[in-house]
Structure 1
Amino acid sequence: MKATQNPATGVRVTPADLLRCAALYLRRHGWHQGTYYAPTTDILTPPACAAGAIGIATAGHRVEHFSQLDPSALADYLAAMAAFVDYLDDHAPVFHIDEDGYLLDEHTSPYSWNDDPARTAEQVITALDAAADEWDRLHNQGGGN
């Protein structure tokens, strides 16, 4: 775009867009478990967990906690995380049951799912892409966003 051109307005970023950007981020910069980002101070684009990658996709930079996002970006982040949780609930449920057999949480935590010792980077990237595809399928009638 030339400096004299006006940027497009009214372009809506969907949760699917953010999930695909998060998957691309993980492909390019690596995946991490345990915290949002691998502990490093020498690179601006560290390996990230699924939630950290969604945060970077939303903000365009590292976000240590979603509370650091401005209100419109926060809404986008939460919508993308909700789409990811919905996908995980349907396709990779992880439920926590207490010692009395009661369900502690009815939704799959993307954090514990990401941090499962048996999880792989490819599984996380595939799930982010699949969640994006599912969001598009459910929300885009007639194609296009």
Structure 2
Amino acid sequence: MKATQNPPAQVQVTPADVLRMAALYLRRHGWHQGTYYANTTDTLTPPACAAGAIGIACAGHRVEHFSQLDPDALADYLAALGVFVDYLDTTAPIFFIDEDGYLLDEWNSPYSWNDDPARTAEQVVTALETAADEWDSLRKAEGETR
């Protein structure tokens, strides 16, 4: 950059941006169940679960646990994961029922949702993209809630 040029403006990354980047990562590198990433050492871009892809979208590299993220990336990760959980809560709630048929807990985890044996890669990618679209639809251009 020349001294006479103005530095580029800081761009605010939204949770929707992170979710779309995670979806793109899964389309390009593959989807995985059971752990954040497929157990492979021969690639820097292994197949990932939804949460693992969100981590990579925030950090730019594989992250074994969200505690390894720097503070800015951690804030982006938690915001995007929160938006994804909110989306899953409204579209695919998981209910835990005991052996007597009583509702024990109504809680949705992106980890258990991702790892459902009936889940497909396309469902995960679509959910990430739809959660991003929903977040955008609830915001004004300035990021405020409508």
Q: TM-score, normalised by structure 1?
A: 0.89
Shift of 1:96: 1.8
Give the letter aligned to residue 59 of structure 2. Answer: A
Conserved? CA contact 1:85–1:107, under 8 Å: no
Quick one: distance in 2 between partners of 1:19 and 1:95?
25
Could you say which structure has the higher strand fraction?
2
Quick one: distance in 1 between partners of 2:87 and 2:113?
12
Is the counterpart of residue 128 in structure 1 residue 125 in structure 2?
Answer: no
Superposed counterparts of 1:6-85, under 5 Å: 6-9=7-10, 11-85=11-85
Shift of 1:90: 0.6
Aligned pairs, how many? 139
**Secondary structure in 2 matching 1:116:** coil
The residue that corresponds to 1:90 in the other structure is: 90
The residue that corresponds to 2:113 in the other structure is: 113
1:114-138 superposed Cα distances (whole Å, 9 cap, x missing partner): 0000000000000000000011111
1:13-64 superposed Cα distances (whole Å, 9 cap, x missing partner): 1100000000000000000000000000010000000000000001110000
Q: CA RMSD in A?
A: 1.5
Q: TM-score, normalised by structure 2?
A: 0.89
Q: Which sections of structure 2, spanning at least 5 residues, go unmatched?
A: none
Shift of 1:73: 1.1
Structure 1 segments, 4+ long, off by >6 Å, are none
Give the letter aligned to residue 95 of structure 1. Answer: F
1:74-127 superposed Cα distances (whole Å, 9 cap, x missing partner): 1110110010000001111112233452423x3311000000000000000000
Give the letter aligned to residue 8 of structure 2. Answer: P
Q: Which structure is larger by alpha-carbon Rg, 1 or 2? A: 2
**Secondary structure in 2 matching 1:103:** strand
Q: Which sections of structure 1, spanning at least 5 residues, go unmatched?
A: none
Conserved? CA contact 2:95–2:103, under 8 Å: no
